[in-house]
Chain A
Amino acid sequence: MRRAINVVPGSGTRILLALLPFLLIACLYVVVSAERRAANPGDKLLPPITEMATSMDRLATEPDRRSGHLTLWSDTTASLQRLFIGLGAAAAIGLVLGLTLGLLPVASAGLSPLVAVVSMIPPMAILPVLFIVFGLGELSKVVLIVIGIAPFLVRDLAMTVAAIPSEQIVKAQTLGASTWQLMLRVALPQAMPRLIEALRLSLGSAFLFLISAEAIAAESGLGYRIFLVRRYLAMDVILPYVAWITLIAYFLDWLLARLSRRAFPWAYVRETRR
């Protein structure tokens, strides 16, 4: 008898199966939205898809009456700029501190407990302090992302580096490697794929911090727009914006995965393909 675990879908079936849940959710939405509209023609909570498309078209192609910018694109640019600077800074901190803490026992003894404690501070709880120290401008938004994810990256990388088999370290030393060379030639290449993976895992949190920061004080950005129009329940803007953010995050995740496999193919040789 054929067992369920041995039924493997072909590539066509796979795509179909992947699309099915999305289609079901879309159908459910359309039905519920239509019923709410039937009860109240002015309903704003679940707007029909055509209305969302009209709103998005307006935001993407018509200049805003006050600023003259194309709203969707200026929001996206503003948010991505903050996100990339924040992620970049967090990755740089993660790499440098992670390598140092993972490789040098003295640095680890001195800093690891501090990093562990700092990583437990909920960034949202100290927001008012961040405002007063870093101001309300771009800096505080980027700092929120960095504070939010850098400790995670540092700890993750330090653990990865510390887990490098001691045989490798000893071998490199017998071959005459200095600490500096050990760091660059032994630890760094093994740390890089892990750093990218950790970045992928923290994309969700990075977006959360970005949007929280934009909700509190901003003049543009994806999170700003959502919280602005939330004031009058404009779900025809909010829902497509959420979909757009999700799409961007999904694309960034995919991009990082591709980058890692392209740049460090040796790290993935044992990956099983199904």
Chain B
Amino acid sequence: MRFGNGRFGFRALSAALGLSLALLAGGTQAQPKKEFNIAWTIYVGWMPWPYAADAGIVKKWADKYGITINVKQVNDYVESINQYTAGGFDGVTATNMDGLTIPAAGGIDTTILIIGDFSNGNDGIVSKTAKTPADLKGESINLVELSVSHYLLARALEAAGLSEKDVTIINTSDADIVAAFKSPDTSTVVTWNPLLAEVMAEPGSAALFDSMQIPGEIIDTLMVNTEVLKDNADFGKALAGIWYETMSVLTDPGEKGKTARAAMGVMSGTDLAGFETQLAATKLFATPQEAVAFTESEDLIKTMDLVRTFSFDHGLLGAGAADKDAVGIAFPGGQVLGSTDNVKLRFDASYMKLAAEGSL
């Protein structure tokens, strides 16, 4: 069941009610299962998933562990995470912040199994008038409120000594942000690629801040349901196997890599050149060793503290959250940020480690 096209709240609501009734009938008990569904949406860091499915890499690894993995596209990013949260998928591609604020804050124990990359210029603030973040004082800014764009803006304002009170934020859906920027009364937008490239192409626009200035804070991951993973370690192993085999193809300097990148470009609605431009603004963890080092570093804990502070300040941890400690976040090595009784988001390096050791 789909939630509709994501535009009409009423339809989504009625579908949500129907879905929950269906879930109730089906029960939510975890048991070893053979078939798994993961959802992906179009974004440069997630294109390896559909490519792996097309190229047979998914089937190869699933067969090795005797399971079936379905890789399904969802058109709307937030909808894909909502579907995962409602139990429609066992895994989903999402950013660290959305993983914390949607499934984890919604009580779904979620494990970040693979850290694929972080945005290194793929998210940016573009303006027709302002030249630096300090110039934003008094401006109206169009962005998808409560998304990583909002987080990026908050970080930029903070760096310039301003606060959100100094600007007017106009919530604008990502589908309309490019058209919005063409309107004469819109001066500044915050968005991500490929939309960022579109607005940058507008005459007279200049980027004044991008994710390169906050490296490692907007992280693109594959997250899975912790219960499902606990009962099915093979599912996690297969996913790690798929990912790093696909990475080796993607980063291949020869013809093989070029063909793969071109295929991913076409799947995301652009071409080889467009895809490589986006890839250049992405810090890809090409090897499991790099990803493990990033997941185990102290910097990740600092990042998640910034992210959970922002999330709490904006009410994203839910009305029931008394403070930013309400939702616990676990890191490799047993460190926990926030409530140890309510750990709902877990960074797990063990499957990436298996890939690094070549023991999958």
Knowing A216-B172, A226-B9 touch, does A42 contact B106 (C-beta < 8 A)?
A: yes
Which one of A132, A227, A239 lies within 8 Å of B182 (CB-CB)?
A132
Contact check, A232 vs B316: say whether CB atoms are below 8 A apart: yes
Q: How far is the CB of A230 from chain B (nearest CB, A)?
A: 7
B145 partner, pick from A32, A51, A228, beta carbons under 8 A: A228
Given A127-B176, A224-B171, are A232 and B20 also a contact pair (CB < 8 Å)?
Answer: no
Contact of B7 among A135, A212, A235 (CB under 8 A): A212
21 contacts between A and B (CB under 8 A): A44-B106, A44-B107, A45-B16, A45-B106, A66-B165, A127-B179, A131-B180, A136-B180, A137-B185, A211-B9, A215-B7, A216-B172, A217-B172, A219-B169, A223-B9, A227-B171, A228-B145, A232-B146, A236-B318, A238-B9, A242-B13
Residues of B within 8 A of A223 (CB): 9
Residues on the A chain within 8 Å of B172, using CB: 136, 216-217
Which one, B106, B164, B182, contacts A233 given CB within 8 A?
A: B106
Min distance, Cβ A64 to any Cβ of chain B, angstroms: 9
User: What per-residue 1/0 map shows which CB atoms of A10-45 lie under 8 Å from chain B?
Assistant: 000000000000000000000010011001111111
In the complex, what distance in Å separates the CA atom of A271 from the CA atom of B240?
Answer: 72
Nearest-neighbour CB distance to chain A for B353, whole angstroms, equals: 29
Residues in A with CB closer than 8 Å to B318 are 42, 44, 232, 234, 236
Contacts A45-B20, A230-B78, A235-B16 given; does A135 touch B184 at CB 8 Å: yes
Q: Chain A contacts of B183 at CB under 8 A?
A: 131-132, 135-136
Partner of B319, one of A54, A216, A228: A54
Q: Beyond the given A215-B173, A217-B171, please list 10 additional residue pairs across the A-B interface where CB-CB is below 8 A.
A: A32-B24, A36-B24, A42-B105, A42-B318, A43-B107, A44-B318, A135-B183, A136-B172, A219-B169, A224-B171
In the complex, chain B residues whose CB is within 8 Å of the CB of A233: 82, 85, 102, 106
Contact B9 A227 (CB under 8 A): yes
In the complex, A51→B172 CA distance in Å?
A: 28
A217 with B108, Cβ < 8 A, contacts A66-B164, A131-B183 known: no
Chain A: which residue is nearest B10 at the CB level?
A242
Choose among A36, A55, A219, A228 the residue that contacts B146 (Cβ–Cβ < 8 A).
A228
A159 to B16, CA, bound (A): 41
| B120 CB-CB contact with A under 8 Å | no
Complex Cα–Cα for A188 and B187 (A):
46
Chain B residue total in the interface (Cβ 8 A): 52
Residues of B contacting A: mostly: mixed
Asked whether any CB of chain B lies closer than 8 Å to the CB of A189, the reply is no
A191 interfacial by beta-carbon distance below 8 Å: no
Interface digits, A224-253 against B, CB 8 Å rule (1 contact, 0 not)? 101110111111111100100000000000
Contact in complex: B184, A232 (CB < 8 Å)? no
* Smallest CB separation, B157 vs chain A (Å): 12
Interface membership of A128, Cβ < 8 A? yes
Contact between B9 and A42 (Cβ–Cβ < 8 Å)? no
Check: B359 CB closer than 8 A to any chain A CB: no
| Contact between B21 and A212, CB atoms less than 8 A apart | no
In-complex Cβ contact of A236 among B164, B186, B319 (8 A): B319
B335 contacts across to A, CB distance below 8 A: none
Closest 8 CB pairs of A and B: A42-B107, A128-B179, A135-B185, A44-B106, A217-B172, A40-B107, A226-B9, A232-B101
CB B102 to nearest CB in A, in angstroms, measures 5
- Chain A: number of interface residues, binned into ranges: 35 or more
With CB as the reference atom, state the residue of chain B lying closest to A211. B9
Establish whether residues A231 and B146, one from each chain, have CB atoms under 8 Å apart when the complex forms. yes
Partner among A35, A46, A132, A231 whose Cβ is within 8 Å of the Cβ of B17: A46
A203 adjacent to chain B (CB < 8 Å): no
Asked whether B78 lies within 8 Å of A36 as measured between CB atoms, the reply is no
The CA-CA distance from A196 to B21 in the complex, in Å, is: 40
In the complex, the answer to whether A217 meets B170 with C-beta atoms within 8 Å is yes
Query: What residues of A have a CB within 8 angstroms of the CB of B20 in the complex?
Result: 32, 36, 45-46
A45 and B20 CA atoms in complex are apart in Å by 8
Nearest-Cβ distance from residue A227 to partner chain B, whole angstroms: 7
- Contact of B176 (CB < 8 Å), options: A55, A131, A236: A131
Of A36, A41, A55, A127, which is in contact with the most chain B CB atoms at under 10 Å from its CB? Answer: A36
A230 touches B9 (CB 8 A): yes
A42-B107, A233-B102 are known contacts. Are A219 and B168 too (CB-CB below 8 A)? yes
Q: Which residues of B contact A198 (CB under 8 A)?
A: none
B46 to A: closest C-beta gap in Å: 19
Q: List residues of chain A with CB within 8 A of the CB of B313.
A: 65
